[in-house]
Amino acid sequence: MAFWILKVEPKSAVRVLNCDRSNLSEALVLRVELRADTEKFYTEVQEKILARYNKTFDWSLKAKMMGKKAIEAARVFVEETGISDSLSAEDFLLEREEMLRTLFPTSELMPGASRLIRHLHANGIPICVATGSHRRHFELKTQRHGELFSLMHHIVLGDDPEVKQGKPSPDVFLAAAKRFEGGPVDPQKILVFEDAPSGVLAAKNAGMSVIMVPDPRLDSSFHQTADQHWLHPMDIGPIDDSCNQRLSFDFMFFSSYMKWNLN
């Protein structure tokens, strides 16, 4: 659903790209994105809709839809599945909306997200949310997590006037980067965490570094555009300033694993 974008000053977070254990405290990273666990709801609803047409919803189609604005994803859905003569993109959205309305309020955060955000906020690191979701969906998805979202410096939604196009356009990332105190942040000093292939492209199109946190069912060919990818969800565990054995991700530049925590 959303990106958590973190404004981080040097020495306040982990250097992720081209790093070794000796310089993990000398961070030049300026953004991070995580998502709430709402993609499963889209999958559930879209599977039900396609079942009426004796069709199945697979991950190759989901990958094409993830991260896009609603109408753009809807067009992909009806055209790729061959049901556009029976169901328009607009009617699909209306039907899907009705079904999602009851599911979104049950949304949970991804593992480790709350712990990471609270740590960063406690250490004075401004955080914002940037998401392709429009306001109505965003409010439904986050209504159980109001206190956590109150820690954000600002929020940029998919229906924001500055977000002219959905991913893979960089609009939402660039709009979010402008709104921290002190003005725009250099994209080259930004790190994005993404789960959607189109979001990875959007981050790269914005000139930012990106770590992909893909669903394990997503074809591994989609990992290649990202600077790095994590093999596991955000199971951060106890957070401290040293490297330890609780969080692992793949350093693509090193072809090896490194384990660390943020505390």
Residue whose structure tokens are 């055209």:
79
Residue 101 sits at the vertex; the CA angle it makes with 96 and 105, to the nearest 5 degrees, is 140
Structural domain spans, the chain: 2-37+108-259, 39-105
Task: Kindly report, residue by residue over 58-94, the tens digit of the pLDDT.
Answer: 989 998 998 788 899 999 999 999 999 999 999 999 9
Mean pLDDT (whole number) for 138-142 = 87
Mean per-residue pLDDT of the chain: 72
Say if strands 2-6 and 127-131 run parallel, antiparallel, or are unpaired.
Answer: antiparallel
pLDDT for the residue numbered 231: 60
The pairing of strands 209-212 and 228-229 is parallel
DSSP string, 37-87: E-HHHHHHHHHHHHHTTT----HHHHHHHTTS-HHHHHHHHHHHTT-TTTS
Which pTM value belongs to this model? 0.69
**Residue labelled with tokens 């939402």:** 172
With tokens 């394990």, the residue in question is 216
Region 105-125 average pLDDT = 77
CB atoms within 10 A of CB 54: 6
CB 29 within 8 A of CB 8: yes
The answer regarding whether domain 2-37+108-259 maps to CATH 3.40.50.300 reads no
pLDDT tens-place string over residues 193-236: 777 788 888 889 998 888 777 777 777 777 778 887 766 544 44
Determine whether domain 39-105 maps to CATH 1.10.150.240.
yes
Angle at 71 between CA 54 and CA 219, to 5 degrees: 60
- The pLDDT value given to residue 246: 28
pLDDT digits (tens, 9 = 90+) for 151-200: 888 888 889 999 999 888 999 889 988 887 777 877 777 777 777 788 88
Does residue 238 have a pLDDT over 90?
no
Tokens representing residue 105 in the block: 């309020």
Sheet hosting strand 2-6, strand order edge to edge: 2-6, 127-131, 154-156
